Structure 1
Amino acid sequence: MRVINGVNNEQIGVMRLDEALRQARSMGLDLIEISPNAQPPVCRIVDFGKFRYDLAKQEKEKRHTAGKVKEVKFRVNIDEHDYLTKIRHAEEFLDKGNKVKIHLQFRGREMAHQELGMQVVKRVKEDLATMGHVDMEPKLVGKAIGMTLSPLPAAKRKRKFSKAGEVDVDNLPDDPEDGDDE
């Protein structure tokens, strides 16, 4: 069998099982078979506890990032700054590979103007088009509008709103009230 020193990943060489076990015991470590189907089989001399810990850590990391659904809530009369903050969070979730559920809740008399809510959700859909595609189109359910987005493949994603909190000026609608009093 081929033996690899797991501490510094250097190849020790091809040896018999009893020789490999003796060498592992002399180092105070364990002999673990890594690739049984290879010719010759590959074994590594490592601390078994640390090896199991590393495997569990890798497994947990894989499970952790796989397809969670994150929810971002909006209101009909959302302020521009709040809207941009929520869009940045949604972009971040999509960038990490999570699905995003957009939820717009109506309160009281807002139900009389459902078209305003639909406008907000359609704006969200357009702003996140470079990061994800719509799984479930905007739909009114009770007193809320719901929509689900899935991330695009990593190579096709393009953030419209930067990570540092800066917004691309080219993509914003013109605001007549800039605050410039000059």
Structure 2
Amino acid sequence: MNKKDRVIMNDEIRVPEVRCNVDGAESLGIISTDAAMEKANELGLDLVLIAPDAKPPVAKIMNYGKYKYQEEKKLKEQRKNQVKIDIKEIKLSVKIAENDINYKVKHAREFLAEGKHVRFRVFLKGREMSNPDSAKDVLLKVWSMIEDVAIMDKEPKFEGRYYNLYVLPKK
């Protein structure tokens, strides 16, 4: 646990006075740390330093265990509601045969129908690097075969030894 995530509470609070609030109730204003600790003990709760850099620091009297549990529950809920995007990659070459293109496009259509994103990659070998436009031509040929079921995210792009085309399913 790094220093930023560490929570200062109860006897660890070393400032003379704090601006104190009670969880779900009134504000006690600026009082001494000892008085705030007594009030917290009286209520059977924790004194937690919320804004240690403020002048004076802000502390809250709360049930810290319950608070931490609620925060973890919120984080879990957020993670559960996240949508994981599946990206399928289909590799092609500059000298690919027509029937091979058809076969790979058929698979791409299946992936798009399932709602997956598809990345087409054409790898340029050796002397093919001298003419990268041939790879772009292959990708544009593939695009013309799937444009009825897909949306082109970006124009075909040359990156390193690959020419990439990224497509998304139509809604």
Structure 1 residues 127-138: aligned runs within 5 Å: 127-138=145-156
Q: How many residues align?
A: 91
Structure 1 residues 165-180: aligned runs within 5 Å: none
Q: Which residue of 2 aligns with 1:98?
A: 116
Runs of 4+ deviating beyond 4 Å: none
**Where does structure 1 lack aligned partners over 5 or more consecutive residues?**
1-61, 154-182
Give deviations 1:28-48, integer Å, cap 9, x for gaps.
xxxxxxxxxxxxxxxxxxxxx
Distance 1:95 1:123 in 2: 20
Residue 132 of structure 1 and its aligned partner are, at CA, apart by: 0.5
Report the TM-score when normalising by structure 1.
Answer: 0.47
Identity of aligned residues (%): 31
AA aligned to 1:117 is: A
Distance 2:134 2:169 in 1: 26
Residue 137 of structure 1 and its aligned partner are, at CA, apart by: 1.4
Within the candidate set 139, 144, 149, 2:157 is matched to 139
Residue 113 of structure 1 and its aligned partner are, at CA, apart by: 1.6
Within the candidate set 93, 96, 102, 1:75 is matched to 93
Secondary structure of 1:72's counterpart equals: strand
RMSD: 1.8
**Where does structure 2 lack aligned partners over 5 or more consecutive residues?**
1-79
Q: Which has the larger radius of gyration?
A: 2
Secondary structure of 1:136's counterpart equals: coil
Residue 102 of structure 1 and its aligned partner are, at CA, apart by: 0.8
> Does structure 1 residue 108 correspond to structure 2 residue 113?
no
Distance 2:84 2:148 in 1: 21
Give deviations 1:10-62, integer Å, cap 9, x for gaps.
xxxxxxxxxxxxxxxxxxxxxxxxxxxxxxxxxxxxxxxxxxxxxxxxxxxx9
